[in-house]
Copies of this chain bind each other. A is one copy, B any other.
Amino acid sequence: MNQPRSAWLYQRVARLIETQIANGTLRHGDRAPSVRSLARSAGVSIATVNQAYLQLERRGLLRARPRSGYFVAAPARPALAPPSSRPLRNRRPRSVAAEVIDTTLASLRQSDVLALNSAVSVFTGRLNGRLNRLTRQVLRDEPDLPNRLSVPPGDEGLRRAVAARLALAGAPTDPASVVITAGAMEAIVLSLTVLCRAGDTVLVESPTYFGVLQAVEQLRLKVVEVANRPDVGIDVAAVERAVAGGDVAAAVLMPNFNNPTGALTSDADKRALMEILEIAGVPVIEDDLYGDLHLGPERPRPLRAFGGGPVVTCGSVSKSIALGYRIGWAVSPEYADDIARAKFCTSVACPTLQQRVLSRFFESGGYDRYLRQLREELAVDRRRYREAVAEHFPSGTRVSDPAGGVVLWVELPEQVDALALFQQALDERIGIAPGLMFSAKGDYRNYVRLTMGAGWSPRVERALGRLGALARAAAAR
């Protein structure tokens, strides 16, 4: 209480460093802040910091090295645990889907978990060398990139390349309609932001990608679900009924290889969908993320190729070129300006470097040749995964025969709780996605989605066998 002020000060400084060591900010071997900089930032004298560091050295927390400063010593006893109780005020209860996502995010950071729930792809990895070479070229040619902002709608070369790819896919596109985004997911979120107001109703597929459902929830939108069936894709009649009421603000559709069903909606149904939605005045947000990964002979056309009303075509390089780049696009002659402004006001811009690298990648050619090879390998893996499911999973299991993309949709016998299976699998270091994440209503409780991005290996084979055993045990209960 009556300590002199200087004593109090050096103890405060010592506590600051001690806390950083305890919570892992400073770790064994790290250099502690220099005496001078710490004195300045803590607003104390250099003598005070020296006193604090001497105390920490005496207590074995720091070690001085001549002419190098202070370093964090090896812990003599277990490091202090970080604070375990966190205040939870103002936090709403998490939904089951949110819990699953949190658990999944944590598991994706653990290298010993086999990710059968992530699009991290062994196939795209073979482009890394070429992409890294292009990166070095770009850095040499444009050394000011770290501080150049790529203002929305983004890099012109990349936008031209995206327009050219869409034209090849059957939907001629003006580069001015292309907005570069942080992957297809941001493209969808920005489109929803532009097209909907809170309380509006959005038409989504059931099942659909859980990110879409989370985004819809974050934006406080209501949903009406229409079926996407593994065999035929989007249920056109259901869409017609859903929009008849007139209060649907937008439709999020994935006709080219729905995630998770893998279904391709036919050209005839796409044309019918566009007619129905145009008449109803409902703009479409199309998730065309997997369009390039068709297993059939032809790249399916995006919805825009079939006429009708406004469409935002969303895509990315994440599934076929570079998952870690976080580059995608929203393409729409109608809403490009609004989407670009929404991008600027939520994440400002995409990194300049990756846009320049991808622009050169497309310009330099060879992507189609690479895609052909990739698709052939995906076709082989699809067969292997399906055979493994047929062999190991309980009788009564059904599995999709996807026309493209990288996921399998597995329906287990009704008594199997896929959420419990998810937990059991994770205990055995296998990541899968339980079905209820893919429905706003929590349907598909006996479904799981398997992602084939891990490729095929003895480890994957063993994991599928183990999953099957867990599912058989659950089915027998």
Contact = CB atoms under 8 A, between A and B. Distances in A.
Contact of A124 (B147, B321, B352): B147
B351 A86 contact: no
Contact of A41 (B108, B170, B338): B170
Contact of A118 (B19, B149, B163, B189): B149
A37 B91 contact: no
B136 A347 contact: no
Contacts of A132: 139, 143, 145-146
A80 to B, nearest CB: 11
Interface in A56-102: 82-83, 86-91, 98, 101-102
A172 B135 contact: no
Nearest to A345: B214
A324 B182 contact: no
Interface in A266-296: 281, 283
Nearest to A220: B198
Interface string A424-464: 00000000000000000000000000000000000000000
Interface in A1-56: 16, 19-20, 23-27, 31, 33, 37-38, 40-43
A147 B125 contact: yes
A323 B349 CA distance: 10
A146 B321 CA distance: 8
B86 A334 contact: yes
Contacts of A241: none
Given A87-B310, A149-B118, A310-B90, A189 B33 contact: no
A326 interface: yes
Interface in A299-351: 299, 309-310, 318, 321-326, 333-335, 337-338, 340-342, 344-351
Nearest to A156: B109
A341 B19 contact: no
A120 interface: yes
B152 A129 contact: no
Interface in A129-159: 129, 131-132, 135-136, 139, 143-152
Interface in A170-189: 170, 172-176, 181-183, 185-186, 189
Name the residue in A160, A168, A170, A348 with the highest tally of chain B Cβ atoms < 10 Å from its Cβ: A348
A193 interface: yes
Interface residues of A, number: 118
B348 A185 contact: yes
A338 to B, nearest CB: 7
Q: What is the oligomeric copy number?
A: 2
Interface in A335-377: 335, 337-338, 340-342, 344-354, 365, 368
Contacts of A396: none
Contacts of A152: 105
Given A146-B131, A151-B108, A172-B16, A349 B326 contact: yes
A351 B352 CA distance: 11
B346 A325 contact: no
A390 interface: no
Task: Find the residue from A210, A325, A347, A365 having the highest chain B CB count within 10 A.
Answer: A347
Contacts of A172: 16, 19-20, 23, 25
A348 B41 contact: no
Contacts of A351: 324-326, 351, 354
Contact of A25 (B118, B167, B219): B167
A298 B147 contact: no
Given A218-B346, A326-B348, A147 B121 contact: yes
Contacts of A23: 163, 172-176
Contact of A335 (B91, B146, B365): B91
Contacts of A118: 149
Nearest to A20: B167
A242 interface: no
A144 B128 contact: yes
Contacts of A108: 149, 151
28 contacts: A16-B167, A19-B167, A20-B167, A23-B173, A25-B160, A41-B169, A88-B334, A102-B337, A105-B151, A109-B151, A120-B148, A121-B147, A128-B144, A131-B146, A132-B139, A146-B325, A150-B324, A181-B347, A186-B347, A198-B199, A210-B345, A211-B348, A218-B346, A318-B348, A324-B349, A325-B351, A326-B347, A347-B347
Given A23-B176, A89-B310, A219-B219, 7 more contacts: A38-B168, A89-B283, A105-B151, A132-B145, A148-B324, A183-B348, A324-B352
